[in-house]
Amino acid sequence: MTKQSKQVLGCLIAVAGLVALSTPTLRSQASAPDQRAESFQRSFAVSAGGTLQIDNYKGTIHVTGSDSNQVVVDVTKRFEGSEADRKWWMEHVEVNFRNEPNRVSVEVKYPERNCMFCWEDHDYSAAVELEIRVPRQINVNLESYKPDIRVSAIQGDIKIKSYKSPIAIDSTTGSIRVDTYKETVRLRDVTLRGPLEVKSYKADAEISAKALGQSVSLENYKGTIVLQAPQDAGFDVDYEGGRRASFHSDFSLNMQAGHTDHAVRATVNQGGTRLRLRSERGSVSLVKLSGGI
């Protein structure tokens, strides 16, 4: 073997050794738990038809109905940043609970640094995630800034006020009220018992309803509204839109006198649900459901 061949062989052996040494480390890192998160659980009894009230600035709020008489709250506090900032944030973030016979309240308070002459840079990302299982018969009241919001499989009234929160409501029965700014609102497989109200600014709302209640009020500014309903559903339509707004209906409209491109008064299938639609520089569409939702 020449001297040059020995040098090449030596390099290959060295590279192979480095790969062998690094492989277990990579596998260990991939399977290691998140050491920068802290989790805990709380459980509370609540009467049927009670209320869950949540206030969480960001992170997540996920509420799912279950066959239980308890509210079970799984809390995860996640942090990305320096160890010093992590220690400070974990010590000062608060998750407060309050339990009454007919109400469970969860409030997350995020810490703020009050320092006028702090020169040290604190660059970090942190949030609290709430995964909550509830009895099916419960009302839900959520207030937030920009968490990911999901509510599913409950029988009760839902009220959500948020800012920049993607909102998904699935397989629920009851009234729904949503007031939001930007992001999306998705209602799927809902049965309305009581009013449906959605107010949105620069947000897209898509609603698929198996049954509509007595009244529906949908408003937007610079966004889209799509309402999907059974083809035999009856409406009393009251639509008004700005110059840059548009209105479309898959349903045959029995127009009333005085309608214009920007104001429609009509009935669908002899009338029924009072349908109030308002849009400024957005679009509104009434769409027939075909088959299952």
Contact of 55 with 12, CB cutoff 8 Å: no
pLDDT bin (cut points 50, 70, 90) of residue 121 is low
pLDDT bin (cut points 50, 70, 90) of residue 257 is confident
Average pLDDT of the chain to the nearest whole number: 87
Neighbours of 67 (CB within 10 A): 7
Question: For 116, phi and psi rounded to 5 degrees?
Answer: -80, -30
Query: Can you give the pLDDT at residue 220?
Result: 92
The structure's pTM equals 0.83
- Using the predicted structure, report yes or no on whether residue 127 has a pLDDT greater than 80: yes
Q: Cα–Cα distances in Å, from 28 out to 16, 24, 38, 63, 220? A: 19, 6, 20, 33, 50
- Using the predicted structure, report yes or no on whether residue 68 has a pLDDT greater than 80: yes
For 181-212, the pLDDT digits (tens) are 989 999 999 999 999 999 999 899 999 999 99
Contact of 201 with 223, CB cutoff 8 Å: yes
Q: Which residue has the higher pLDDT, 77 or 3?
A: 77
Query: Can you give the pLDDT at residue 20?
Result: 43
Calpha distance 240→281 (Å, rounded)? 11
Among left, alpha and beta (phi > 0; psi -120 to 50; other), residue 222 is left
Q: Positive or negative, the Cα torsion across 43, 47, 49, 52?
A: negative
